Amino acid sequence: MSDKKIIFSGIQPSGSLTLGNYLGALKNFVNLQEEYNCYYCVVDMHAITVPKEPKELRKNTLQVLANYIAVGLDPDKSTLFIQSHVPAHAELAWILNCFTYFGELGRMTQFKDKSKKNEGNITVGLFDYPVLMVADILLYQADLVPVGEDQRQHLEITRDIAQRFNNRFSPTFTVPEPYIPKVGAKIMSLQDPTIKMSKSDTNENSFILLSDSPDDIRRKFKRAVTDSLGVVAINEEQLGIKNLLGIYTKITGEKIEDIVSRYEGKGYAEFKSDVADLVIEELKPIREKSEYLLKNKDYLEEIYAKGAQKAENAARKTLRKVQKKVGFIPKTFKIQQ
């Protein structure tokens, strides 16, 4: 048994990932894999909470898996798998539904936002989305969950439900901590720096995708909304520039003050063009490696099959414990194949 602490995180396969997904979550996954026992999941069951074309979902699921490997996640070190391959996620989610209050889920801001966008088409799955996420995390007894700022509330409800279950029965779940980076936890839209960068935005210039070509990236940064002050500085009046500085520092690791002083007396055009170059250089190997991996479907299958087996073993242990605590009679038969 490894005594390493456990990490769980997931990303939805709902189209090509954005620079926000990458800087807020994915990039951090890689840094954590040496020190922790990591489970990184492609959450396809979450993706169908809003309408999805089956063909697109299949393609995007493999794409996120390819992105995981392309950014440097090592399948021998981290467990990479697809959520729907481990049925314990759905099974635990059902049990936890019975320990979650209607009012709690109604307060989730992501549900409120998404249901505004899908008015007239709000499924029970969309409402219940956070409970499935709680099950994802608690099944693996995760200590830490690396996510962007927009998932903070979902981590709070995870902690609440874990504590509620532990208090009602006896200690069963590890109560996880969110791991939200100081820089890059909320990359903003390039067209409106008051809202987060999101691939569901109708304006394509507002987000950078991992699959964007260098020309697309350059064009989108050139058009990024800034202000009329013309001075590269960090403050709450220049949110567009603040967002670009966040991207810059997250990629280079340089201090914001050092970056700001380098652009003293220089205009926005040069700054934007440099940010674009940095992003192009950062994403190029990821795009190329992902494209290469997507041509090797057998290799991807090997990874997700092995990952699901490892995940299944860990998940079953927790699920069995939970089933026993709530009073289900243990199964003594084997299913005939």
Interface residues toward ligand TYM, by CB under 6 A = 8-12, 20-21, 24-25, 43, 46, 133, 136-137, 145, 147-148, 150-151, 185-187, 196-197
Going across the sheet that includes 6-11, the strands are 79-82, 37-42, 6-11, 144-146, 177-179
Nearest in space to 89 (alpha carbons), one of 139, 47, 39 = 139
Q: How far is the CB of 267 from ligand TYM (least distance, A)?
A: 26
Q: How far is the CB of 333 from ligand TYM (least distance, A)?
A: 32
Nearer to ligand TYM, 195 or 229 (CB): 195
**What is the token pair recorded at 132?**
């499935």
Query: What is the SS3 assignment for 231?
Result: coil
Nearer to ligand TYM, 148 or 307 (CB): 148
Q: What does the alpha-carbon distance between residue 132 and residue 92 come to, in Å, rounded to a whole number?
A: 8
Phi first, then psi, for residue 145 (nearest 5°) are -130, 105
CA end-to-end span of the chain? 31
Respond yes or no: is residue 5 known to be catalytic: no
Q: How far is the CB of 133 from ligand TYM (least distance, A)?
A: 4
Q: How far is the CB of 231 from ligand TYM (least distance, A)?
A: 25
Nearer to ligand TYM, 150 or 277 (CB): 150
| CB-based burial, 269-308: b 16+ in 10 Å, e otherwise | eebbebbbebbbebbeebbebbeebbeeeeebeebbeebb
- 196, 220, 250, 272: which is the annotated catalytic residue? 196
Q: How far is the CB of 182 from ligand TYM (least distance, A)?
A: 12
Respond yes or no: is residue 196 known to be catalytic: yes
Nearer to ligand TYM, 14 or 263 (CB): 14
Q: How far is the CB of 315 from ligand TYM (least distance, A)?
A: 13
Angle value at C-alpha 289, between 286 and 291, nearest 5 degrees:
105
Nearer to ligand TYM, 105 or 231 (CB): 105
Nearer to ligand TYM, 173 or 263 (CB): 173
Q: Pinpoint the alpha helices (H) of the chain.
A: 19-21, 27-32, 44-47, 54-71, 88-97, 102-106, 109-117, 124-139, 152-168, 214-222, 239-252, 256-262, 268-294, 297-326
Which are the catalytic amino acids?
A: 114, 196, 199
